[in-house]
Chains A and B, each alone.
Chain A
Amino acid sequence: MKSNDPLLYPPLGHRLFSVWYRHMRVYTQHIVSNGFPPFLEPLIFLAGIGLGLGQYITEDIGGRTYLEFLAIGLLVTASMWTASFECTFGTFIRLEFQKVYDGMLAAPITANDLIIGEIFWAGSKGFFFSFAVLTVMCVVSIFGNVIVPLPQALSAPLIGFVNGMMFASLGLLVTSFVKTINHFNFFMTGLISPMFFFSGVVFEIDRLPKNIQPIAEIVPLTHSVRLMRSICGDDSTLLTNVWDVTYIVVFILVVGYFAVRRLKKRLIL
């Protein structure tokens, strides 16, 4: 057999890409069952709120109808859900049940490449899920009431991408502690669900009791949602924008760093 040059192992960028590509390829293998629900979910949500609950809410929020207010939030939360599931249940199943990483780590990639590639992949899923919500909102806006401000809302997938990276880092950090898959229920019910309700998605943070408001400032979703609202033209100050962007960048780097460090210990004995 021909001997190959060991120094020809793929460079970092390619290694991260091949991890990303592996996940993308497996995900898109069942494109209908994986790709359709993200479009269906916002439709159900809009119908449920718009036709049902929304009828009772007549008050404006910052000059928007309740439906418009909620729609902007949903552009971001879709990416939170998908990245959180991907990097908790998804990662755990690949790690413990399917043993996918045993195969991948036999290839010329390091554990760091694998985990960082995973974060990029979850970010991409966040991009896609936000894009799906955006598409539904745009279609509804064209044929019915305008519910998302255009063209500003077109930036939603990008916010979905960074938001996905944040929740991927958080999910992987949680996964590094988890011994059985059932433990994720605490994370989902105890942290992700409350974030959906108390981070300025379904109502404004100002409406929270004064002593609880700082807590909303600590959790990640608040910042990506507020940034999205700001892009969509809601009142905001430059200071809040800078704070939100800084928070997101620092969160991804710091939580991501610890997630990589801790999860690596589970991959490399």
Chain B
Amino acid sequence: MTNSSVIQVQNVSKTFGTLRAVYGLSFEVPERSCFGFLGPNGAGKTTMMKMLYARALRDRGHESRISVFGYDPAHQELQIKYLSGVVPQEDNLDEELNVLQNLLLFARFYNMPPTKARQRVEELLDFLELAEKRNELIRNLSGGMKRRLVIARALLNQPRLLILDEPTTGLDPQVRHVIWDKLRQLKRQGTTLLLTTHYMEEAFALCDTILILHQGKKILQGPPKQLLAEHIEQYVLELTEHEANTETLRSRLSDNVRIDPSGQTIRFYSNEIEALKSVADHLPAGQYYLRQSNLEDVFLKTTGRTLNEKQ
């Protein structure tokens, strides 16, 4: 392929009845990079991913275009699926079969010769640290093992693109770090990664580019560090269950502090840590938390702090 973009999406929308799940979305995913969709539930992340491998069809429109490896999912889904691996949001392994059988059965879908399939399955069991569990039934696996097995299944055909829908949701921190590590390894080996997540650390740890989606629309896009630098102040002072008089606090603030109250918590944002420290000095210890701002702050600032009807 001459073009270095694995995925090109231009002006894509998806409507379910009267609901606009995705609206006028455009983005490109360069080869060998990790691209992340970030957004609240119902933002359109999963729908957008499904449109890439033809589990969902985009709305028809002249300027609307999707290309994955140069193929249009609406007409050439088999080529795309043959080159890609998909890790769906929910684990859907065959409960009747054991770990090894699950993988060997799935290898059939790729028309892999049996000896090659066996060899590839062994490689993947080793890679995802599941070799000892090869004969275990699915119901005896922990959530983290099931997730790793689904990832192994998606890697059977040595995909050039790996699509992951919330790869680590609901998993403990150890498993999460193991999975992140494996995904980074895959990227180094040349696999392009596309993932959705709610976890800001995950997006920060893995993604070269993040696209923040909200109600089907693109809010922000860029490298995580750049989003932090451009869209949020460097420091935050968080006051939980504040009893202090907000008015007196406000009087102590210099102009370059932004106040963001929400529920019981009040947050002061500023690029000057001294400005925040001077506020904190007048507060009893334990009532406040002074920290560097993170992606979550960007996310909440851009998508709002209140729940929408789909959350």
Contact = CB atoms under 8 A, between A and B. Distances in A.
Interface stretch (A21-29, A78-86, A244-252): A21-29
A8 B82 contact: yes
Nearest to B69: A6
A32 interface: no
A44 interface: no
A108 B158 contact: no
A215 B14 CA distance: 45
Given A4-B158, A9-B82, A18 B109 contact: yes
Interface stretch (A95-103, A126-134, A217-225): A95-103
Interface string B169-185: 00000000000000000
Contacts of B200: none
A2 to B, nearest CB: 6
Contacts of B55: 105, 267-269
Contacts of B115: none
B153 interface: yes
A129 B178 CA distance: 47
Nearest to A109: B109
Contacts of A14: 111
Interface string A204-223: 00000000000000000000
B106 interface: yes
B279 interface: no
Contacts of B189: 1
Contacts, number: 100
Interface string B20-32: 0000000000000
Interface residues of B, number: 44
A116 B81 CA distance: 19
B111 A103 contact: no
Given A4-B82, A9-B82, A26-B94, A103 B88 contact: yes
A110 B78 contact: yes
B108 A21 contact: yes
Contacts of A3: 160
Interface residues of A, number: 33
Contacts of A179: none
Given A4-B82, A8-B82, A30 B96 contact: yes
A10 B109 contact: yes
Interface string B60-90: 0000000001010000011111110110101
B57 interface: yes
B111 A6 contact: no
Contacts of A8: 82, 111
A107 interface: yes
A106 B158 contact: no
B157 to A, nearest CB: 7
B94 A106 contact: no
B262 to A, nearest CB: 34
A29 B92 contact: no
B37 interface: no
A26 B96 contact: yes
A104 B109 contact: yes
Nearest to B95: A98
A268 B54 contact: yes
Among A1, A2, A9, A106, max chain B CB count under 10 A is at A106
Interface string A159-192: 0000000000000000000000000000000000
B57 A268 contact: yes
A107 B96 CA distance: 20
14 contacts: A4-B158, A10-B109, A14-B111, A15-B109, A18-B108, A22-B109, A29-B101, A100-B94, A103-B93, A103-B153, A106-B53, A110-B54, A267-B55, A269-B14
Interface of B: 14, 16, 47, 50, 53-57, 69, 71, 77-83, 85-86, 88, 90, 92-97, 101, 105-106, 108-111, 150, 153-154, 157-158, 160, 189-191
Given A102-B90, A108-B82, 19 more contacts: A4-B82, A4-B83, A4-B160, A6-B71, A6-B82, A29-B97, A100-B94, A103-B150, A103-B153, A104-B109, A107-B81, A108-B81, A110-B54, A110-B77, A268-B57, A269-B16, A269-B47, A269-B50, A269-B56
Interface of A: 1-4, 6-10, 14-15, 18, 21-22, 25-26, 29-30, 98-100, 102-110, 267-269
Closest 8 CB pairs of A and B: A107-B109, A106-B86, A269-B56, A9-B82, A10-B111, A99-B92, A6-B79, A108-B81
